[in-house]
């Protein structure tokens, strides 16, 4: 499986493409071993628990054959194996569908270094010298 690495707090893009599949409205699902992460069919979408407001497969991209998952504000608990599936009809006229595996990849999450953590903490205020200007000059 492919490996994607991302830093804590960053946005990860998990690559995925679907091509040469005769699908009118692509219906894609991303999941981990235990959870459904995201699902989209046209305008309809589902965000998995813990992934609310952090995940998307942009609809315009999906229609072009790009089913990459955009995962914002990556956390340590996001690390693991992700799989994307496309819903495909079993036969041309049949209404029954099956999930076809498109991509399996692993997300590794790098924790920020001590230096980076220091940078994000507010700098200690150093008391500056105060110069008193004379407001009244006689």
List the one residue out of 49, 18, 22 whose CA is nearest residue 36: 49
60 Cβ neighbours under 8 A, 6+ residues apart:
none
Instruction: Provide the phi-psi class of 81: left if phi over 0, else alpha when psi is between -120 and 50, else beta.
Output: beta
CA distance 109 to 111: 6
Does residue 1 carry a pLDDT above 70? no
pLDDT at 92: 72
Map residue 27 onto helix, strand or coil.
strand
Give the pLDDT band of residue 112 (cuts 50, 70, 90): confident
List the domain boundaries for the chain.
Answer: 2-110
Q: What is the CATH number of domain 2-110?
A: 2.60.40.10
Taking residue 62's Cβ as centre, other Cβ atoms within 10 Å add up to: 22
Residue with tokens 């079993």: 90
Q: What is the mean pLDDT of the chain?
A: 86
19 Cβ neighbours under 8 A, 6+ residues apart:
65
pLDDT at 17: 93
Determine the distance from the C-alpha atom of residue 95 to the mean position of all C-alpha atoms in its chain, rounded to a whole number.
Answer: 31
Taking only the tens place, the pLDDT of each residue in 31-90 is 999 999 999 999 999 999 999 999 999 999 999 899 999 999 999 999 999 999 999 877
- Residue 34 in contact with residue 82, Cβ under 8 Å? no
Total-model pTM: 0.77
pLDDT at 114: 72
């Amino acid at each position: 499986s492919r490996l994607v690495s991302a830093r804590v707090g960053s946005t990860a893009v998990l690559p995925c493409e679907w091509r040469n599949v005769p699908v009118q409205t692509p219906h894609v699902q991303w999941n981990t071993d235990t959870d459904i992460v995201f699902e989209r069919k046209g305008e309809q979408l589902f965000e998995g628990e813990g992934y609310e407001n952090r995940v998307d497969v942009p609809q315009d991209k999906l229609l072009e054959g790009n089913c990459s998952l955009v995962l914002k504000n990556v956390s340590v608990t996001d690390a693991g194996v992700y799989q994307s599936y496309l819903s495909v009809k079993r036969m041309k006229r049949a209404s029954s569908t099956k999930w076809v595996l498109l991509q399996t990849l692993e997300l590794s999450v790098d924790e920020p270094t001590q230096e980076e953590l220091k940078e994000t903490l507010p700098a200690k205020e150093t008391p500056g010298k105060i110069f008193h200007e004379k407001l009244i000059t006689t």
